[in-house]
A and B are shown apart, each in its own frame.
Chain A
Amino acid sequence: DTGVSQNPRHKITKRGQNVTFRCDPISEHNRLYWYRQTLGQGPEFLTYFQNEAQLEKSRLLSDRFSAERPKGSFSTLEIQRTEQGDSAMYLCASSLVSGFTDTQYFGPGTRLTVL
């Protein structure tokens, strides 16, 4: 049973550049979440998908951020015109909704450094 995978694991970019991260969830998981974790803080929710539908976006997700899950499998998170404040660990989690709650399984994260 493979877990959640994320690529790349590390990304260093210059301010103003665009970056894209990929998340491959556990197969057959119908939900996929994105979180952002800054140094010394807990992860903060960004957005989530139920199959291919993006159902909620946090106000943390500015217009420069866009996420997709085109076929209900892998997901991408793109940040346009990166800023130094975007430097963080971006975590992806997947789950299989059963009943009223779910258990989220996290990937290793993508650490973004904006110079």
Chain B
Amino acid sequence: AQSVTQLGSHVSVSEGALVLLRCNYSSSVPPYLFWYVQYPNQGLQLLLKYTSAATLVKGINGFEAEFKKSETSFHLTKPSAHMSDAAEYFCAVSFGGATNKLIFGTGTLLAVQP
């Protein structure tokens, strides 16, 4: 079955520190991969997406993610955390074709300490 696993439901970093949010997927076919961010009581905003082009994907707000097929991973990183990065982050996969519905992980809540 196709699924997404986000390790660590809560991650806390200091302002200026590296942000690393982990995402692994399970799929028998090549996926499309996405990271979304959700601020309290708001919808989801697309950070970046992988669609089988370059394996290192750069997104908005200084975030990037690397697709590693051998590890079935798509971890999200940012070199230096900012207070405004505090939010919940969701990794998602889709498989194109007729539906293209997104399958989401359970999310990682990022806290940024001053």
**Stretch of B43-51, B65-73, B75-83 on the interface side:** B43-51
Interface centre among A91, A102, A104 (most CB of B within 10 A): A104
Cβ of A25 under 8 Å from chain B: no
A104–B90 Cα gap in the complex (Å)? 14
Once A41-B107, A45-B103, A48-B101 are accepted as A-B contacts, the answer to whether A101 and B32 lie under 8 Å apart by CB is yes
B96: chain A residues within 8 A (beta carbon): 100-101
A45–B102 Cα gap in the complex (Å)? 7
**Interface residue tally of chain B, by bracket?**
20 to 34
Chain A: interface secondary structure?
Answer: strand
Q: Mark B15-59, 1 if CB is under 8 A from A, else 0.
A: 000000000000000001010100001111110010100000000
A31–B102 Cα gap in the complex (Å)? 13
Closest to A99 in B: B96
Q: Show the binding face of B for A, using Cβ within 8 Å.
A: 4, 9, 32, 34, 36, 41-46, 49, 51, 90, 92, 94, 96-107
30 A-B residue pairings within 8 Å (CB atoms): A6-B43, A40-B9, A40-B107, A41-B106, A41-B107, A42-B90, A42-B107, A43-B90, A43-B102, A44-B104, A48-B101, A55-B98, A56-B98, A56-B99, A91-B44, A97-B100, A100-B96, A100-B97, A101-B32, A101-B51, A101-B96, A101-B100, A103-B46, A103-B49, A106-B43, A106-B44, A106-B45, A108-B43, A109-B42, A111-B41
Q: Show the binding face of A for B, using Cβ within 8 Å.
A: 4, 6, 31, 33, 35, 40-45, 48, 55-56, 91, 93, 95, 97, 100-109, 111
